[in-house]
Amino acid sequence: MPNRAPYRVGPVGVTFLAAAVGIAGAAAAPTQYRCTNPASGTSWTIAVDAEHQRVDAVPGQVSDRAASWRDRDTGGAFELDRVSGRLTFRNASSTGGYFLYYSCRPE
């Protein structure tokens, strides 16, 4: 029987092996929230992507507790409390501005 050297795995092999068995860590999927206007009952879904700091593909600031971003059309600001699910929209106007409140829950 021939004497064989032990099999060695180089850095590329280790990276491939780690990816193949899921050790390398997959990217976290965006968290989906279902938000509802309590006055009208209208609801919609938003995607919070903490890894890329985006909400519905709009740049923002995302943490474990909150997410904030700007509305592209009005320039108003959204703030989502990820713990309580309270979504606040604030917008400036010539009459002083206004706030709108919604409730959201993770899907």
Alpha carbon distances (Å) from 107 to 3, 23, 33, 48, 95: 58, 27, 6, 11, 37
**For all residues of the chain together, what is the average pLDDT?**
84
Mean pLDDT of 54-80: 96
pLDDT at 28: 80
Q: Which residue blocks in 44-88 are alpha helix, DSSP H?
A: none
Does this model's pTM top 0.75?
Answer: no
pLDDT at 83: 97
